[in-house]
Amino acid sequence: MQNAGAPLWDDLRVLLALHRHRSFLAAGRALGVSTSTAARRIDALEAALGRPLVHRSNGGTSVEPDALDLVALAERIESGLHAIRRDEGDEAFSGAVRLSLADEVVRPVTQRLCELRRLYPALELEILSETRLVDLARREADVAIRGSKSSSPAVVHRLAGRASFGLYAAPSYVERRLRGARLRTAELGRHDFVGYEGTLAQTAKSSWLMAHGAKRFVVRSNSHHALLEAALQGQGIALMSDPSVRSIAGLVRLEVDAELPSSSIFLAYHRELRKVPRVRLVVDTLDAAVREALR
């Protein structure tokens, strides 16, 4: 999931204010920011999502109909934050929360959590980027985003959604090796691939490639970013989650004549942490971010 495409709260709150006040000037006043800052936030959000979100006219500014789902998301986040503040008070949100993340989601998750820290500066974050599944039952981390469930009864799992996968290649690879952006599974054996190594090579998506005939893995790594760069450089075809590359320029999603894999995405944390305010705040924030990224 690079969910570079996942909206940040600072952007969403401007969209919500625009929906309510129907002008950049009024929205900026309501939020205590300048008109130019409000406009930049909307420009950034539109660029991240790759579509217009507001309609500007002499009669005012309105939110496009297909952006109302983002307005609803912003309202839910705002309501949740207000409810948490009413229930607990700001002083409850202090101390450290330790997170374990796959490196493909580190950047978008860190962006969202930094936005959260602007609201709660006493919150401390420890972010681990790793390929192994940490032992949440032993409190090696407080919160993890993962694609499978732990068997431990001490761990709570919240299903955030399912991530779809696609086969991606650089235009240079498509031009050299493919006729258009179409690939038949019967042809996988003669193509170059970039893929995971070590324990990650045993995952469902890696197994899918080999089950459909992929043999030539010209670049292997345990790093999503290394494989992404190799794909961008035209080294081979990569099987990646759609949310993680949605906002990456320079890759083509290939049409394929087989059903591609998908993976459940869980937020996991120790059962004893369910009522800890700072952990609940982080989990709820990540839940909203992941659900939006998977849309």
Question: What six digits make up the tokens of 257?
Answer: 């004549």
Sign, CA torsion 239/245/251/256: positive
Given this model, what pLDDT does residue 91 score?
Answer: 63
* Residue recorded with tokens 């940040």: 8
Same domain, 244 and 152: yes
Share of the chain above pLDDT 90, in %: 43
Same domain flag for 155 and 215? yes
Q: Are 76 and 103 part of one and the same domain?
A: no
Asked if residue 126 has pLDDT above 50, the reply is yes
- Do 115 and 192 share a structural domain? yes
Same domain assignment for residues 73 and 168 = no
Residues 215 and 188 in one domain: yes
Please state, in angstroms and as integers, the Cα–Cα distance from residue 148 to each residue in 160, 260, 263, 275, following that order.
Answer: 12, 18, 8, 23
Largest CA distance in the chain: 61
Are both 66 and 159 inside the same structural domain? no
The mean per-residue pLDDT over the stretch 277-294 comes to: 89
Predicted TM-score (pTM) of the model is: 0.65
Helix (H, G, I), strand (E, B) or coil at 6: coil
Whole-angstrom distance, CA of residue 295 vs CA of residue 287: 13
More confident position, 247 or 82: 247
Do residues 42 and 133 both lie within one domain?
A: no
Q: Which residue, 87, 115, 139, sits at the end of a domain?
A: 87
Cα separation of the two ends of the chain: 11
Q: Is the pLDDT of residue 89 over 50?
A: no
My answer on whether 131 and 165 are in the same domain is yes
Structural domain boundaries enclosing 156:
93-295
User: What share of residues in the chain are helix, strand, coil (percent, to 5)?
Assistant: 50, 25, 25
State the alpha helices, DSSP H only, in 67-215: 68-88, 103-119, 171-177, 204-211
Mark 167-191 as b/e (b = at least 16 C-beta within 10 Å): bbbbeebbeebbeeeebebeebeeb
Q: Are residues 45 and 18 in the same domain?
A: yes
CATH code, 147: 3.40.190.290
Q: How confident is the model at residue 84 (pLDDT cuts 50, 70, 90)?
A: low
Q: Where among 41, 60, 87 does a domain terminate?
A: 87
Tokens at 126, concatenated: 């420890």
Mean pLDDT of 244-269: 92
Count: domains in the chain: 2
Q: Is the pLDDT of residue 268 over 90?
A: yes
The whole-number average pLDDT for the span 173-192 is: 93
C-alpha 221 chain-centroid distance: 21
pLDDT band at 183 (very low <50, low <70, confident <90, very high): very high
Cα atoms in the Cβ-side hemisphere of radius 13 Å centred on 210 = 10
Which of 87, 112, 145 is at the close of a domain? 87
Q: What is the CATH number of the domain that holds 68?
A: 1.10.10.10
CA angle 230, 220, 241 (to 5 degrees): 65
Q: In this structure, are 67 and 148 located in the same domain?
A: no
Euclidean distance between CA atoms 79 and 16, whole angstroms: 12
- Judge if 82 and 114 occupy the same domain: no
